[in-house]
Structure formats: structure tokens, C-alpha cells
Amino acid sequence: MSKYFKHYHQLNDILNEIGLSREDFCIIGGTALNAENIRIHDDIDLCIRPKIKKALIEKYKANGKYHILENTAIKFTKSVEANKGNVFSVVNISDDELIENENYHFIYNGFKVVKLELMYSKKIHRCTRLELFRFKDLYDVYLIQKKIPSIENWDSSLLMYQNSSKERLLAQLVLTLAKFYGKLPQPINRYKIDA
């Protein structure tokens, strides 16, 4: 696992300021890829327990200290944000389940971080929906695919595209595209971690 954890001190300062316990959130997004030496993350995305996030939104909506996005997310800084919620509903996992169930996260530098299998499923899902599609996600799928053989405890039961033939077909199309896309010259090479 990578020892590099961008914005670690900034995150700790925010947690201390808002009084959020490490038991009440899980880090999601690029940090999961960073932890497995897949790519360096740009920011830190938090999945906070819904009841706690709702209280934080009400508090900071009133005093204006942090930017509230569409009444569902909190932008603490340019680099640290609480997401809108239900990010892993594509694999039928609620925010509370993600935070509570040790099968869905691991501990990285003292923080709960979503398992890579769930990020992989989420990114495949995004690539199969035109309105959600980002080339960055397609490239992440390619990078994760390359890394899977070296991940000791890879749990394929957590993958969403096991569910239906339509999802498997779409996922296979995304995986094929990712292989092709990964071989092209990349404008986003900054996401790679050089070993």
C-alpha cells in the first residue's frame, strides 16, 4: 500500500474543527486507488453517516462557513468534500452500511477507506451511463484491471456487474474499451504512480 496520503493534515484539521469521529465516515474516491498504488488522488471525498451529515449541513448552511452543494454535499475546502450520499447504491450498499461493515472498507493511515472492488464497480457503472461518463473513470477502470492480479484479497462477490446479463454485457464493453483506451497516449498520465 502507498504511504502517500495527500491532504492528510488538512483532513485532520477539518475533523477536529467540526468534531467528526473517524468512526462516522469512510473515505471514498481516488484515495482508494492511491492506497493500492494505482494513482495519486487529487482530493479527499468523504461518505459521512447521513444523520450526522444532515446536522452538519444545517449547521453550516446557517453560518456559511462551508459551501453546501444542493443541500446534499459539503465542500469543506478545495481538497476535502463530503459527498452527496448513496454513492454505492449501484451495488445496494447504503452509506451507513459502507461505514459500519468491515467487508466494505479497510483501514488506511487510521481512516476507513472504501474497498477497491466497490470503487471499480462504481466506475464501471459510471462508464455505462452516458450522463455520468468521464474518461477519467474509464482510465481508472483500465488501471484497476491491471492491478487486480496483484491484490491479495480481491473479493469479486462485491462487484456489481455479477447481477444480470445486461450489466455483465455492459461491464464487458467498458472493460474492453478501458483496455483500448489505456493503450492510447494519455492526457491524464498525472494519475499514474511510478513505482
> Model confidence over 102-123: pLDDT tens digits?
999 999 989 999 999 999 989 8
Burial 33-43 (b: 16+ CB within 10 A, else e): bbbbbbbbbbb
Q: Could you give the 3-state DSSP secondary structure of residue 177? A: helix
Over range 39-57, report the average pLDDT: 94
Reported confidence tier of residue 28, pLDDT bands at 50, 70, 90: very high
Reported confidence tier of residue 195, pLDDT bands at 50, 70, 90: very low
The fold adopted by the segment(s) 8-191 is Beta Polymerase; domain 2 (3.30.460)
Full-model pTM:
0.84
Asked if the model's pLDDT at residue 26 lies above 90, the reply is: yes
Per-domain boundaries in the chain: 8-191
Lowest-pLDDT range of 26-40, 161-175, 181-195: 181-195
194: alpha, beta or left? (left if phi > 0; alpha if psi -120 to 50): beta
Q: DSSP label at 48?
A: E
